[in-house]
Structure 1
Amino acid sequence: MTNLIDLSHNMQTFKELRVQQDGHVLLVSLNRPDIHNAMSHEAMVEEIERVCDLANNNSEIRVMVLTGEGKSFCAGGNVKDMLNKTDMFGGNKEEIEQSYKTEFSVFLCPYGISRSPLLPP
């Protein structure tokens, strides 16, 4: 990629993600290498939803690439938070179940860039 434009602080504030644009490509990196980019709190999920909205509402973006900083793409849910029942894994059984249905729904259904066709006919 050449001429990367760092959007992490330009268009919106992202703390959990690093967002860059190169032409029609939006490069989104999970940016919590200290915890192997684990989904540990609602902020990361909310930022992923926001960056998907940003991409869907920007006709210049044709492709979004999701990657992870550090040596891991994404460890999944943060096992320490699950064990301690903290952050997005806190609460009783019903609250945790509801959190999975709402917070992780972004990963359970197609969400990314939904415009089509990407190439002219």
Structure 2
Amino acid sequence: MSNLPQLVDALITLENRVATLTLNRHDLRNALTGSHLIDDIVTTAEWVNGCDDVSVLVITGAGSAFSAGGNVRDMAERGGDFAGDAAECAERYRKGIQRIPLVMQAVEVPIIAAVNGPAIGAGFDLANMADVRIASEKAKFGETFLNLGIIPGDGGAWLMQRLIGYQRAFELTLSGRIVDAHEAKELGIVLDVVPADELMPTVMTLAGRMASQPPKATRMTKRLMKMAQRMELKDFLDLCACFQGMCHNEPEHLDAVNRMLESMARR
């Protein structure tokens, strides 16, 4: 078993190749600023990429909220990440919360967000950085930055329109309205909505299915799906050929083929 990273405001577990990161600042509704959660998320993402024992990363929140995003009290007091003049504040964004989308975009394994409660502002954007979102019926989602007179400074305007399209993302961002879990499913924000007590079992079933796949091919497949978003087809097919050549020469490929042949022989 690999050594787990040392975190301050979050909890990390690893079982059956599934790493679960739980944001653990219920007193702040798991706000990303005004806590150590930014560092904890970055540390976890970097650890996942370097740990061959991890095939899936699940992110959820402790308590009633997934994440409230930015710490509004710090905003009111112009303290913490929001202190200083325009240039100083911009630099804090670059060295602070903007590290999250960059490191999440680089995670090599599937990421599942188990959205247990409200995901607001940067908390909503964090959920959108995952590959799949499963929501509890208690979840709510809001791109509420304009309600506070600010813009989505953590990449939300880039993320959401790629997820649900420009028009829907524009409406949610410019209105700042909050949607419940069922509307979020209709909009394509979440894959499924389940009762609160079924959230983690449902997520872990999906995570377990993904984690059971050959680990090297799983990482390559996620990389391909990310790269497909920004490559021309011909160049992409060339890359697929190279990755496929690597897969055919991996022991896990032969193991998987033999298992399938054995299963066919038993039918």
* Deviation of 1:74 (Å): 0.4
Alignment match, 2:69: 76
Q: Distance in 2 between matches of 1:39 and 1:55?
A: 20
Question: How does the TM-score come out when normalised to structure 2?
Answer: 0.39
Which of residues 108, 123, 128 is equivalent to 1:113? 108
Gaps of 5+ in 1: none
Higher RCO (CA 8 Å, separation ≥ 6 residues): 1
Which of residues 3, 21, 24 is equivalent to 1:31? 24
Q: Calculate the aligned-residue CA RMSD, in Å.
A: 2.3
Which of residues 2, 7, 17 is equivalent to 2:10? 17
More helix per residue: 2
Q: Distance in 2 between matches of 1:36 and 1:52?
A: 21
Q: Distance in 2 between matches of 1:18 and 1:69?
A: 9
Deviations 1:13-42 (A, max 9, x none): 211111011111000011100110001236
Q: Identity over aligned residues, as a percent?
A: 25
2:38–2:100 CA contact under 8 A, matched in 1? no
1:42–1:103 CA contact under 8 A, matched in 2? no
In the alignment, does 2:82 pair up with 1:89? Answer: yes
Q: Distance in 2 between matches of 1:63 and 1:29?
A: 14
Alignment match, 1:58: 51
1:16–1:43 CA contact under 8 A, matched in 2? yes
Gaps of 5+ in 2: 110-218, 223-251, 254-267
* Deviation of 1:90 (Å): 1.8
Alignment match, 1:44: 37
> Counterpart of 1:52 in 2: which secondary structure?
helix
2:41–2:100 CA contact under 8 A, matched in 1? no
Q: Structure 1: which 4+ aligned runs deviate by more than 6 Å?
A: none
Q: Distance in 1 between matches of 2:59 and 2:33?
A: 17
